[in-house]
Amino acid sequence: MKINPMVYGVVVVVVFLGVIFGFQVAGVWSTSGKVDTSGKSIQPSAADVNTIKGWMTLEQVSTVFGVPAPEILSEFNLPADTPPSTALKDLESDTFDITKLRTWLQNRSNP
């Protein structure tokens, strides 16, 4: 018995994508990195600056690390009217990036 190559290709793609979409619908597979497998939002950890991700907001980092948002903004010469809901990746410039923020927070907690 010979299988038509076109049918075989379609079946392989459907099975492949079906597994991915099926697990996403079931809540087992997440590609965003913003939620864990139980569906809880991932938050930065005050014990580890490496948990800070670019999609996190200025407000999240400010709250977890106990640093007022205006202090972060002034430290990195960012506009003072920046909303706290701004994602860190949207603030990247010559004076600010995630690595510099991590280093600054680490040095601030360990003088």
pLDDT at 47 over 80: no
Instruction: For residue 108, give both structure tokens.
Output: 């601030």
Q: Which pLDDT does position 74 carry in this prediction?
A: 92
Residue 57 near residue 84, CB atoms below 8 Å: yes
Span 61-106, pLDDT tens digits: 999 889 999 999 999 999 989 999 999 999 998 889 899 999 999 8
- Whole-number Å distance between alpha carbons of 15 and 21: 10
Alpha helix (H) residue ranges in 1-111: 5-26, 58-65, 69-75, 98-109
**Does pTM surpass 0.85?**
no
Cβ neighbours, 10 Å, residue 95: 11
